[in-house]
A = this chain, B = another copy of it.
């Protein structure tokens, strides 16, 4: 037999580690672990293991090493690039971290929370809130994504502008290596220069170097005041000017700056029941801007009013509405968060998760929209995202009335056209979603050979047998 078949004997040995109850072999039990919600990736596996402790994860990896069994770690299964889905061989075992869901400690004075990989992001938010703190990593999938996956994909989201991405919010990690050794680096230190930065190798590695089983995460003081404004503008250039002024005045009090093309709001108003346009008039571009204050609600209000007032006088802003209640603020945010769903009824959507230097955002949008029109005339750029981070979700909906199949067949061409603009502007083709299976080939084709070579050396050094989430990233 090949060294990759999973024999009944080996299956039984894996099952014995976690117990029969947590070793899934029935197709119906396995199904939820081999499909991801957008349906882009479907894998096959004969076995899903749900260990209940770090020690069990370690024993699984020791056995995987002994038997050369490829392991695919998975936490919330919300990833968008297929990093958490096994291949079609039926030879890969899925290791689910959902049972490692303990919050081990909240340290209010040190502003840290120590959580296991299977903790759902929303539960981290609640635990922080209970300690009068904020855990600022926030994504649309926060109700189902889990921190292990957030760290392995270095998740971004809407609050990166002020608080950083998952990497910057992580102080220490606990990792089970492919050989089963446990790397315990669960430290709460803001400063530690004792050797190489191993933590940041595991964060963002999508489970290809080891399995993050727990992490120490930063907490921040809960803002006393938070104000949200919906702003109408003429162009991305105007949005960039507004961003510069807001950042200058508010510093890290500027906690969100989201740019949206008019069509994205139109889609939401058309397809999401109960959606209401925040402004009377309509504008080509909109910005959702959030200002937070550690001092008071009044302070946040004064600051956002000053910023918008001066921008209005400078002719940067066409119109703006500041949310008058928490409910309205939530409604503004919903418009932004519903944008992914609102594209579905409009037919096929070809997606891009890109970043460029912030100053290049207007140039990127202009050039990318032209590239789209050249590639598929009539295709509709649905452009929105985290402008303050230089990160846009530059999705492209099919032309009205076109054939979905014919349009989606152009996926690769459209990616190539848009990513060419990204590269010309020294940007990234994966700003926050990662590489996984989806972008692996393109990474290998387009990244500098020296970078690929160094990544391969790291992979080989940490996972010499190649059993750790093979076929992902590199």
Contacts and interface: CB of A to CB of B under 8 A. Distances in A.
Interface stretch (A5-13, A120-128, A272-280, A442-450): A442-450
Nearest to A184: B448
A436 to B, nearest CB: 10
A191 B448 contact: no
A172 to B, nearest CB: 9
A248 interface: yes
A193 B244 contact: no
A458 interface: yes
A434 B193 contact: yes
Contact of A191 (B181, B196, B432): B432
Contacts of A437: none
A326 interface: no
A451 interface: yes
Interface stretch (A39-47, A263-271, A334-342, A423-431): A423-431
A435 B250 contact: no
B389 A355 contact: no
Task: Give the interface size bracket for A toward B.
Answer: 35 or more
A329 interface: no
Contacts of A198: 451, 454-455, 458
Interface in A175-218: 177, 181-185, 187-198, 200-201, 203-205, 209
Contacts of A188: 357-358, 390, 426
A433 B428 CA distance: 33
15 contacts: A110-B358, A154-B197, A156-B191, A165-B191, A177-B454, A183-B451, A183-B454, A185-B451, A187-B427, A190-B391, A196-B204, A197-B200, A201-B201, A220-B251, A221-B251
Q: In the A-B complex, list the 8 residue pairs whose CB atoms are closest, starting with the nearest.
A: A109-B359, A252-B252, A192-B428, A457-B461, A188-B357, A200-B200, A191-B431, A110-B357
Interface of A: 107-112, 153-154, 156, 160, 162, 165, 167-168, 177, 181-185, 187-198, 200-201, 203-205, 209, 220-221, 223, 240, 244, 247-253, 294-295, 303, 355-360, 386, 389-391, 426-435, 439, 443, 447-448, 450-455, 457-462, 473-474
